Every structure is written in C-alpha cells, then in structure tokens.
Amino acid sequence: MKIPATLLIITICTTWNACTNTHDEPTKTTADAVIAIPELPKRGAEYGDPTEYDHLLDAYDKAKIKLRTHPNDEASLLRIAEVFITDARVTGHYGPDHDAAISILDRLIAGNTKKDTKAQAYALESVIRLNQHKFAEGLKLGEEAVKLDPARAFNYGLLVDANTELGNYDEAVKQCDKMVSMRPDLRSYSRVSYQREIHGDVPGAIQALTMAVKAGVPGTEE
C-alpha cells in the first residue's frame, strides 16, 4: 500500500428579532456566516467506478440542500469537505478541490464549533496536508485531532502516515497498533500491510492487505 504522498454577531436588532420571531430559525456563527460552499468540479472524463461518482454527487447535493436552511449544520459542512477530498484523490484535481475543502475546514476549526466537529476538521485538514507532502503539518494537525477525540481510530492513521513519511518508524508502528486494535478495517489493515512491508515482512504485508480488501465496501472508491 502506498501512503497518500484526510461566530455570532449580536446586535439589539437581532436580539429583538429572535425574541419576536415566531419561526424557528437556525443559529448562525461567524464561521457559518462567511462560508460559501464551492461548486464541485464537473468531471470531463470517467474516473474509476461510475457508482462511486454517483454516491459522491448524492452526498454533495444532500449536504448543500441541508445547508440552505441550516447554514450552521456542522455535519453537512464536514461532509462537503470530505467530498472535495475524495474527488481530489480520485481525479488528481488536488489544487481546486483541496482549496475548497480547506476554506470550509479552516472556518470550522476557528469557529465556535462542537469539540467533535473541530476534531474531525483537524483530521480532514491533516489528510490534505499529508496529500500535499507537508508531513510535519499533517502530523501536528493529526495530533490535535487525537487530543480532541482519542477514541476515533481514523485519527491514529494520520499519525501512522505522517510518522512513516518523516522516518519515525517506531512511532508509526506504535500508532498503527493502536489503530488496528481500536478498529480492524480497510484503513487499519492497509496501514498494517505497509508497516510490515517496509520492515521486510512481505508475506505478512500480503496477508494484511488481503484482509483490507475483504473489509472494503463494494462500490466505494476505497
């Protein structure tokens, strides 16, 4: 396996409106108010399984629809960032897709968002920095994600990837062990495979990668 070379303005008027308006309206934060959702680039060619692209478009459209009425919906903002990251990985259009995702993630990180949301935003931006070969940045972002959400296996995968690329092999193995013990799935098995390969255990690497394939979901990019 190859490791990928992942606000509130208060005025007298708004306070008065909130007290007198009989309709339930979503609360906005400063971050939400300035986030403009970029358009997902159209694909000029077929990349991979068309079913995967259909899933991606469906996720993007559902999130945008939700944000029309609930612009502060953190789950939808994270989902759109994930869509752009996936599209970049599939098509190779890293520049525009990563810029779009970062514009959303930076606002979530800086905003008055829930702890879990902030952790996921740090994790996804770590994925991007690792893809950009900014491994030290990716490691720092991954560490922030782990601090906020130490129970999420995905976050430890970021530490595996970053430490491997930075040559911290012992630490990479340590974090890989944590990840696979927490969640034995495609992501963790594939990292186990790579760690075994770079340490010379080719049969063990093949075995782990076979387990990763079996743990994958048909019709998805992974």
Per the document, the length of the chain is 222
Q: What is the residue-level pLDDT of the chain in tens, covering all 222 positions?
A: 444 443 333 332 333 343 334 334 444 443 444 467 888 888 877 787 778 888 899 999 999 999 999 998 999 999 999 999 999 999 988 999 999 999 999 999 999 999 999 999 999 999 999 999 999 999 999 999 999 999 999 999 999 999 999 999 999 999 999 999 999 999 999 999 999 999 999 999 999 999 999 988 776 656
Q: Looking at residue 35, what is its pLDDT?
A: 65
Q: Looking at residue 7, what is its pLDDT?
A: 31
Q: Looking at residue 220, what is its pLDDT?
A: 65
Q: Please give the Cα distance from 129 to 142 (Å, whole number).
A: 10
Q: Looking at residue 45, what is its pLDDT?
A: 75
pTM confidence score: 0.79
Q: Looking at residue 147, what is its pLDDT?
A: 98
Single-letter code of the amino acid located at 82: E
Is the separation of the CB atoms in 122 and 139 below 8 Å? no
Q: Please give the Cα distance from 153 to 185 (Å, whole number).
A: 10
Is the separation of the CB atoms in 158 and 121 below 8 Å? no
Nearest to 219 by CA among 44, 2, 13, 58: 58
Q: Looking at residue 178, what is its pLDDT?
A: 97
Q: Looking at residue 26, what is its pLDDT?
A: 41
Residue with tokens 């920095």: 129
